[in-house]
Amino acid sequence: MRKRLVGVLASVMLVASVLSGCGGNNNGGTNAGTGTEGSGTDAAQSAAPESGSAGELKPVELTWYYPLSQLQADQAKVQEEVNKITKAKINATVKLMPVAIGDYVQKMNTVLAAGEKFDILWTGYMLKPEELVRKGAIQPMDALLEEYAPELKKDVPQVMWDGLSVDGEIYGIPNQQINGSRYGFIIQKRFADKYKLDTASIKKVADIEPFLAQIKQNEPDIIPFGIFGTSFINPEAHDDKYWVVPGLDDHFYIKTDDPTYTLQRYPEEELNNFRLASKWYKDGYIYKDAATEKANDYLAKGQIAVDFNVTLKPGVEAEVKAKNGGNDVITVPLSDWFSNGYSATTNQSISRTAPNPERAMMFLNLVNTDKELYNLLCNGIAGEHYDKADGEYIKAKADSRYLPNMDWVFGSVFNSYLKEGQPENVWEETKKINSDSEVNPVGAFKFNSEPVNTEIANLNAVWGEYKRGLVTGTLDFEETWPALYGKLKEAGEEKYVAEVTKQFEQFLKDKGLKK
Amino acid sequence: MGKKFEFSKLFINLLFTVLSLVVILPFLLVIAVSLTDEKSLTHNGYQFIPESFSLDAYRYLLDAPDILLRAYGVTFTVTIIGALAGLLLTAMTAYVISRQDYRYNRATTFYVFFTMLFSGGLVPSYILITQYLHLKDSLLALILPILLSPFNIMVMKGFMSKIPLEIIESAKIDGAREFRIFFRIILPLSTPALATLGLLISFTYWNEWFNAMLYIDDPNKVPLQLLLVRTLNSIEFLTTNSEFTGQLGIDLSSFPNSSARMAIAVLAGGPMLVIFPFFQRFFVKGLTVGSLKG
């Protein structure tokens, strides 16, 4: 019996090794995508792009993966129209491969790991280009940009290219949109009018308090201040005193007027925000179950009078109105525009396995410069999916079969037609913000978390236990903080701070910010 | 004595009443919500008895029925073909390894069992399906990967090894060959097991969406469950990543509202609810895995 078993096992293994051998052979040519060892050959390939491309272009088909919040019924029709344009301009057709946004990460990770051949993929918030570079899944595009998309290269601000660079090479084309933060309050207009709120008098977070008191007294069904445990009101991210150091746990700061860039951990001003939350909670300005409830449930009913928002961009009023139970709102910014650099929120990258990286670049250039093509992708076909209104404005048809509503997934939103409620100059304003916003002097700092991964996990666990309670003021700050701080120390606070300080000092030296 | 007996009966009845309520109530709630007016949902939350009754959710879904009907078509095709083929192959494999007079039956059993413990994993399967079998966007990609489940084979084997070898021998003496034995004697004798496994397999096919997510890009070949999962996943993603969506401005109001989501769930689960009772009588004869032969 045993002999027999051994025999069978041996033959099974033989079969297995033969099969895997075949696979290996076939893979060698195509599958360089999964390991960094493939980088040498691919770099060579992209460094020597097809010469004489200005002349005749061979017809090719490009494949483009991107996420959509809802797949569209008329996808095929739109693709046909897209191909009419691309066929005429760069003699290429494009296979659009939208993936439901909730499945996008899993699907793309599988596709990339399998080394499937395709050209373009959307990268961004949940599929960071930096991580894909470490996996060897996408290719650098400096040379391609120079050769095939010089206008695009110029059009995009340098800070965005910097944000998309890994080890000095660019790995993505940003879909330009707002890049910056400006925090402040969003207030329901009906209450602001009713209580004659003087918005000019509100300069800092605490100034809203009298208004909250009025709401509390006179509007029993309304939650005066809409904080629900997930957001952290932190004006010290950038005010006249502090800059937050990005990419860490949001509790490291530098002082704006400090030429030595000394790191500040838990400065008193930050802790005051928690004290304010405790006070407001006791006064009843914050909903009593805020720590466990979801903001959206109350927002949709229009029950929140004042909300805090970190991106008060042009046209935000129209956007919020839709989520706010249809109530009009006004905004009260508390800061100027500032930015921590570009965090690669939404971009296109070119796959390592791309059969036609040059043509992919030409296509991306076209998407970002050809208004017709871009708006076709965003809004569908004129007359069929939307109607043109005055000027640049369009109106989607009521039962449109193509309405992705995700302009930022395709390309630079500055080329998009305007929708109802957006101010006419919204893109000029946004561009201005992008170029004028104050940039965090240490925004480029990237922390390598590896040496203190355990400590970070422990610290996160401790914070996770307290955070919702603290930001909503449900837990009294003065009572909680000593215990919390003690736990943080046990979790490795000091080691973490030491590592951050070490790397930060190194960063300052490398950047020449500190001798 | 008699009184005590009553008490334990009461207890058992109570226990099962509670159990059935736990199972039935959520489903009733789903149906109730799917019939509730969206406005009253936002204001009152989920209620068993809708404050204002509305068929809007179903109207919304059936307004453009082509997608839904096509999805039904795909799911039915895959389920029927998959269940029939899967059942036949499972029975055949199980029969072979259940025969005591088959020389390599232990080795083969082990070979089947081994795949329960170790599998190639996601990426190799993906490579196999897309790059070697070229099944992307083909319904076969939905049928093949779950055609044979080692667990089902083991269950079937457990049942079939209880069929006495003497029956097979007597059939042989009467001049039957292997195929005739299998189809005329073994299969009829295994009806309870076939019914049970058939149901299990069709459930698996009916509920399958993961392979479809990976392999199906053609909107005309999307099964019903994937439609549902996609909508739910996307809503889940957008609501949990508010930091991202806030910055980019995704309009959540364009999504199917809660009642529409529940309506999809009803439409996706409904047919199986109807089919289930037909199989139920076969469950009386229980199945066992790996029990000792008496």
User: B50 pLDDT band (50/70/90 cuts)?
Assistant: confident
Q: Does B246 touch chain A (CB under 8 A)?
A: yes
Q: Is B82 helix (H, G, I), strand (E, B) or coil?
A: helix
Model pLDDT, residue A55: 53
Q: Does A40 touch chain B (CB under 8 A)?
A: no
| Contact yes or no for A406 and B230 at CB 8 A | no
Q: What is the pLDDT of residues A478-514, one digit of tens each?
A: 999 999 999 999 999 999 999 999 999 988 888 887 7
Q: Does A107 touch chain B (CB under 8 A)?
A: yes
Model pLDDT, residue B266: 85
pLDDT cut 90: percent of chain B above it: 32
Model pLDDT, residue A33: 37
Q: B39 to chain A: which residues are within 8 Å by CB?
A: none
User: Dihedral through CA B161, CA B162, CA B166, CA B169, nearest 10?
Assistant: -30
The B residues from 163 to 202 touching A (CB cutoff 8 Å) are: none
Of A23, A113, A408, the CB nearest to B248: A408
Q: What burial class does residue A36 get, using C-beta atoms within 10 Å of its C-beta: 0-12 exposed, 13-18 middle, 19+ buried?
A: exposed
Model pLDDT, residue A498: 93
DSSP annotation of A311: B
Q: How far apart are the CA of B283 and the nearest CA of chain A, in angstroms?
A: 36
User: B179 pLDDT band (50/70/90 cuts)?
Assistant: very high
Of A71, A230, A406, the CB nearest to B219: A71
State the Cα angle at B34 between B32 and B36, rounded to 5°: 70
Which of A252-256, A395-399, B16-20, B257-261 has the least mean pLDDT? B257-261
Q: Which two tokens stand for residue A276?
A: 């304010």
| Contact yes or no for B249 and A319 at CB 8 A | yes
Residue bearing the bigger pLDDT, B178 or A3 = B178
The B residues from 96 to 115 touching A (CB cutoff 8 Å) are: 103-104, 106-107, 110-111
State the Cα angle at A390 between A386 and A391, rounded to 5°: 100
| Cβ neighbours, 10 Å, residue A63 | 20
Nearest CA in chain B to A317: B249
Q: How far apart are the CA of B97 and the nearest CA of chain A, in angstroms?
A: 15
Give the integer Cα–Cα distance in Å for A335 and A238: 8
What radius of gyration do chain B's Cα atoms show? 24
Model pLDDT, residue B254: 57
Q: Which two tokens stand for residue A463?
A: 């914070």
Of A9, A97, A178, the CB nearest to B217: A97
Q: Does B64 touch chain A (CB under 8 A)?
A: yes
Model pLDDT, residue B250: 59
Give the integer Cα–Cα distance in Å for A475 and A119: 51
* Chains A, B: CB pairs < 8 Å: 114
Amino acid A405 reads N
Q: What are phi and psi of A496, to 5 degrees?
A: -60, -50
Relative to beta strand A223-225, strand A329-333 is unpaired
Q: Which of B284, B93, B124 is nearest to A22 (CA)?
A: B124
| Contact yes or no for B248 and A345 at CB 8 A | yes
Alpha helices in A399-452 (DSSP H): 426-436
Q: A115 to chain B: which residues are within 8 Å by CB?
A: 127
Residue A10, pLDDT > 60, answer: no
Amino acid A382 reads A
Give the integer Cα–Cα distance in Å for B195 and B192: 5
Residue A30, pLDDT > 50, answer: no
Give the integer Cα–Cα distance in Å for A112 and A125: 17
Cβ-Cβ contacts under 8 Å for B45 (sequence gap 6 or more) = none
Q: Is B158 helix (H, G, I), strand (E, B) or coil?
A: helix
As assigned by CATH, the class of the B64-284 domain is: mainly alpha
Nearest CA in chain A to B255: A70
Give the integer Cα–Cα distance in Å for A420 and A425: 13
DSSP annotation of B131: I
Amino acid A134 reads R
DSSP annotation of B70: H
Nearest CA in chain B to A98: B217
DSSP annotation of A166: E
Q: What is the pLDDT of residues B126-152, one digit of tens each?
A: 999 998 999 988 999 999 999 999 999
Of A114, A319, A406, the CB nearest to B127: A114
Q: Does A101 touch chain B (CB under 8 A)?
A: yes
Which of A16-30, A107-121, A185-199, A369-383 has the least mean pLDDT? A16-30
| Contact yes or no for A110 and B122 at CB 8 A | yes
pTM over 0.80: no
Q: Is B126 helix (H, G, I), strand (E, B) or coil?
A: helix
Residue with the two structure tokens 């439609």: B227
Query: Region A411-436: what's the mean pLDDT?
Result: 86
| Contact yes or no for A26 and B241 at CB 8 A | no
| Contact yes or no for A309 and B244 at CB 8 A | no
pLDDT cut 90: percent of chain A above it: 32
Strand partners, A330: A187
Model pLDDT, residue A22: 42
Residue B271, pLDDT > 50, answer: yes
The A residues from 220 to 239 touching B (CB cutoff 8 Å) are: 230-231
Of B219, B250, B253, the CB nearest to A75: B219
Query: Region B259-270: what's the mean pLDDT?
Result: 80
User: A300 pLDDT band (50/70/90 cuts)?
Assistant: confident
Homologous superfamily (CATH) for A32-178+344-378: Periplasmic binding protein-like II (3.40.190.10)
Model pLDDT, residue A302: 83
Which of A7-16, B25-34, B276-285 has the least mean pLDDT? A7-16
Of A9, A101, A309, the CB nearest to B234: A101
Nearest CA in chain A to B256: A70
As assigned by CATH, the class of the A184-339 domain is: alpha beta
In chain B, domain spans: 25-54, 64-284
| Contact yes or no for A322 and B253 at CB 8 A | yes
Strand partners, A438: A338
In chain A, domain spans: 32-178+344-378, 184-339, 450-511
